[in-house]
Every structure is written in structure tokens, then in C-alpha cells.
Structure 1
Amino acid sequence: SKLVDILQYKCDWYGKKLIQVNPSYTSQICANCGKNNHRLGLNKSEWLAVREWDCPNCGKHLDRDINAAQVILQKGLAIR
């Protein structure tokens, strides 16, 4: 994609490594404890309507988008 091309160019320019992470299912994984909560048993359309949730494993209250971003960061840091 164009965005990835731009990011790769900038990383090359500054001598950095671009680490790409598959974002699939990252909103379902708790960034606090790492448990995959499989949409909390909801169907896909119900899950997409959920903006905040509590992890049944550790009890952490999570914002869906912020949590997904944190999980992506954790995955990227684990790769490097």
C-alpha cells in the first residue's frame, strides 16, 4: 500500500527497520494479560459494536481500539 511504501522510505532514510504486524484479531487479545477472548462469545456483528470490554481473565477494562494498538506494539517489539 502507499502508506507502507512511505513508511518504508522514511525508515530507510533514518536507518530504521519497519516491522509489519498482522492486525487480525488484535482487538480480541487482552494487552494486559495476553489472553485471546474470542469476541467474548459474541457473533461478529455484535462484537464490532463493542467499543469497551472487560477481560474475563484479568479483569482489565479495555478500549477496543487502544487495546488493539497496544497489542500491535507488543507484537512488533517481540519481533525485533
Structure 2
Amino acid sequence: MHAKIANRRKDALHKFSRKLVNRCGEIYVGNVSSLKLVKTTMAKSVLDAGWGQLKTMLDYKCAHAGIVFKEIDEAYTTQTCSSCGSLPESRPKGITGLGIREWTCSGCGVTHDRDINAARNILAAGHGRLAVEIPVL
């Protein structure tokens, strides 16, 4: 039964990574260490998601397809405002801040979803520019 679940997860990751590589010209991911997260209370969730496997699959599939794949340092990406580039005092901080999903920048007044803000900052870092230049979709 465990082997069947593992095979299904691996198949789903292969299909998802292939779709991403076919659809995107560049792929940037945060440098989350799944091995470090396995040692926390989030271990089951991290292992179920297969983050490490997904990054590995994306890396070799991008290399084979000639697509840019980079791991970006994601330090402070959820806390840095993607609109003005500042690190405001009103940002969510530390472990207690993980539960805060939305926050408003005290510098420019823009309200951010934590995950979307981080994604915009990681994309901007991958392109080597400020997130301010990335349009909000």
C-alpha cells in the first residue's frame, strides 16, 4: 500500500514538473531546505508534498529542455514589500508571524498576501530586478 502511494505521488510530481517545464521559459524556486523542515512539527506535510523530489525533477528536466532553473535565497521574501521594496516595521515577524497570511506595508500602504508577495520577490530576484517592476495579476 505504501509503495502504491509513493508511486502515485512520484507520478503526480513527474506530470506537474513536465507541465511547468513545457509552459515556462524560466523557473525560479526558493531555497527551502526540506531536510531541515523534516526535523520540525511540519515533517509529515513536507514529506507528503515531496518538495525535494519536485526541485530535483525540475532541475534535471529544465537542464534537458534548455530552460533556466535557479534556486533563489528566499530570506525575507515574505516580509519585504514587493511594491516599494522596503522592509517595513508592520511586517509579520518570526515564528509567530507565520500565521499572518495578509499584511499591509507601512511604507506604501499596499496590502499583501504573504505567499503571493514572496513569489513576486523570488521572481524579481531571479530576474535580478526589483519586484516593483513585476505586474500584479
| TM bracket (short chain) | 0.7 to 0.9
> Larger relative contact order (C-alpha < 8 A, sep ≥ 6)?
1
Which residue does the alignment assign to 1:65? Answer: 115
Stretches of structure 1 that go unaligned for 5 or more consecutive residues are none
> What is the root-mean-square deviation in Å for CA atoms of aligned residues?
2.0
Give, in whole Å, the separation in 2 of the partners of 1:42 and 1:7: 30
* Paired AA for residue 70 in structure 1: R
SS of the residue corresponding to residue 107 of structure 2 reads: coil
Q: Which entry has the higher C-alpha Rg, 1 or 2?
A: 2
Stretches of structure 2 that go unaligned for 5 or more consecutive residues are 1-51, 130-137
Q: 1:11 aligns with which of 59, 62, 85?
A: 62
TM-score normalized by structure 1? 0.81
Structure having the higher strand fraction is: 2
TM-score normalized by structure 2? 0.50
Give, in whole Å, the separation in 1 of the partners of 2:112 and 2:91: 17
Number of residue equivalences:
78
